[in-house]
Amino acid sequence: MSNIGVTVITGSLRKESFSRKMGRALAGLPAPGLTFSILEIGDLPHYNEDYEVDPPAAFTRFRSAIAASEALLFVTPEFNRGMPGVLKNAIDVGSRPWGKSVWNGKTAGVISMSTGPIGGFGAHHALRQSLMSVNVAVMPHPEAYIGNSPSLFDGDGTLIDRSCADFVTGFLTSFRTWIEKQRSETRS
Ligand SMILES: Cc1cc2nc3c(=O)[nH]c(=O)nc-3n(C[C@H](O)[C@H](O)[C@H](O)COP(=O)(O)O)c2cc1C
């Protein structure tokens, strides 16, 4: 079984972010044939269509990285019942110039997280809505809403909660199947 490279995009920029810790922890799980690399989005300027005359280097770098990605996995917190602005900005940057969206036809999964019990439900569905609009095939099921994030990691950022690790491993197993299904549908 050949490895599939998954580009991980986290919706939080802070150093001790639980979403970022989860993004890093993915590589340590017994995921079936997936490798992970985190793509940073913190250096993207706010989207401004005027920039398209001579796009900032960060736009070009980001667009190229998404275009080259085999699959995408979003790990995001919830900000005020929606997705963080940096994440929405990244989606907007990738979606332009008109007719050249690098999201078109990509395959993705979404994991939302929160410090409370609700697991970022609002962010999760706001993100799905935007991804649908740019024609990204988001895995419908299983859904990953992960709550109580501070209790899941030790001081080094290791994912120590066994039931969460098992859940995310199952999620990744389904994600691998989802990616292969999308690939075979694209070929046929
Ligand atoms: C601006 C802001 C808005 C937030 N809004 C929500 C929210 O709507 N729902 C929620 O569960 N947590 C909310 N939180 C708390 C986050 O879940 C918490 O700060 C989390 O640790 C942020 O993710 P991170 O650890 O990946 O940085 C908010 C935090 C910030 C900074």
Q: Residue 1: which pLDDT band, with cuts at 50, 70 and 90?
A: low
Looking at residue 101, its pLDDT comes to: 98
Q: Hunting for tokens 């050949």 — which residue is that?
A: 2
Q: Is the CB of 115 under 6 A from ligand 1?
A: yes
- How do residues 13-32 score in pLDDT, each as one tens digit? 999 999 999 999 999 999 78
- Averaged over 113-130, what is the pLDDT? 97
Q: Which atom of ligand 1 is nearest to the CA of 147?
A: 11
Enter the tokens of residue 157: 């950022």
pTM value is: 0.97
Query: SS3 of 106, please?
Result: coil
Q: Which atom of ligand 1 is nearest to the CA of 13?
A: 27
Residue 130 in contact with residue 100, Cβ under 8 Å? no
Residue 63 belongs to what H/E stretch? helix 57-67
CA dist., res. 176 & res. 15, Å (int) = 28
Residue type (1 letter), 74:
F
Distance 157 CA to ligand 1 centre (A): 18
- Pocket probe for ligand 1: among 38, 79, 88, the residue whose CB has the most ligand atoms within 8 Å is 79
Distance 77 CA to ligand 1 centre (A): 6
